[in-house]
Structure 1
Amino acid sequence: MRKLKFVLIGLLTIVAIGYSCKKEPVDSKLFVERYLTGKWPLRAEIKSTITNNISSPRDTTTFTPIDTTTFTSDLKFIRRAAAVDFTVDATGENIKFSSTPDSTWHIEYLRTGYFKLVYTRKETVGNNVISHVIERDFRK
């Protein structure tokens, strides 16, 4: 009988914790905009080209000294004295920069101290499909 009391108390505790930790919807666009605000060191840039599903060697650039970029609260991206506007889509998955030409980057992941942006451009030359991929790794 005593064991049954402990089992019931344990189950009620688990149910109470589960109920209190239920997920609430978050406005992803607003979250991403607030998360990005501040200075972010650009640690590495990886460029690769894929032709007909065959990848060429990756070109990795590690910035020394570290190239610091800034995302401002008024939605400006500043890098090396050049500033461009940016917008985040409604789902918070892509960032569109107002550079010439416009470019849309996919947010690969967001973590506490780092995030990664990926830009992909496909072109068809004759029978060949060429994909150009640029990955930028930002870490605090």
Structure 2
Amino acid sequence: MVRVALGAVAAAGLTWAVRRCVVVTVRGHSMAPTYGDGDRVLALRTAPHRLVAGDVVVSWLPGLAVDRAREPRDRPWVIKRVAAVPGDPLPGAPGERVPRGRLYLVGDNPDGGLDSEDFGLAHTDHVLGRVVRRLPPAPG
């Protein structure tokens, strides 16, 4: 009986982890040198209010009409660093603050890629997850 209960708990924990974790392959050089083209990262689905400046996130491009019915793997994702969260000063706009439900995203590579200065503030509900670690290259 105890084995069955422990097995059920382990299965529930594994299901929880699988639903919360997503493997993403980086395309492009906007996050170099932190992450390069072809790097694989593990993103953990995170509540938007838990994000802080400095986190790296996987998000839809702001302003892009995305069909929520599409499979996540078919959506146009970007990997960016959170530079400011709701209530923080808005970079480049003295006296203004990031509004609730938005994020200011930037790439680590100042010479490559677009960021919130180009595409606007990201919606917190468009964040797939927070990058928690780099993964080894895919086998084969």
Q: TM-score if structure 2 supplies the norm length?
A: 0.27
Greater C-alpha radius of gyration: 1
Q: Which has the higher contact order (CA 8 A, sep 6+)?
A: 2
